[in-house]
Structure 1
Amino acid sequence: MFGFGKKAKKPDGIDILIIKADEAKNRSLYQVAFPSIVANDILSMLQKLEKSKLNTKEVLGEIGGFRIVTHLEALTGFDILDDADIEAQPVQIQDFANMLLRRLEVLDESGGLGDSDDLAFIMGELTMLRDGSFVPQT
Structure 2
Amino acid sequence: MFGFGKKAKKLEGTDILIIKTSEAKNRHFYMVAFPSMFANDIVSMLKKLEKSKLNKKEILGEIGGFHIVTHLEALTSYEVFEENDMEAQPVLIQDFASILLRRLEAIDENGDGDDSDLAFIMGELTMLRDGSYVPQN
* 1:89 matched residue in structure 2: 89
CA displacement at 1:117 relative to structure 2 = 2.5
Shift of 1:8: 4.9
Looking at structure 1, the residues matched to 39 and 61 of structure 2 have their Cα atoms a distance apart, in angstroms, of 25
Deviations 1:23-70 (A, max 9, x none): 001111100000000000000000000001000001111100001000
Query: Offset at 1:84?
Result: 1.2
Compute the TM-score of the two structures, normalised by the length of structure 1. 0.91
User: Partner residue of 1:3?
Assistant: none
Structure 1, unmatched stretches of 5+, are: 1-5
1:101–1:123 Cα contact (<8 Å) kept: yes
Letter of the 2:103 counterpart: R
Deviation, structure 1 residue 11: 1.4
- Cα deviation for residue 137 of structure 1 reads 4.2
TM-score by length of 2: 0.92
The within-5 A match list for 1:42-61 is 42-61=42-61
Partners of 1:7 and 1:74 within 8 A in 2: no
Letter in 1 for 2:130: D
The DSSP-based 3-state class of the residue aligned with 1:9 is helix
Distance 2:120 2:113 in 1: 14
Give unmatched runs, 5+ long, in structure 2: 1-5
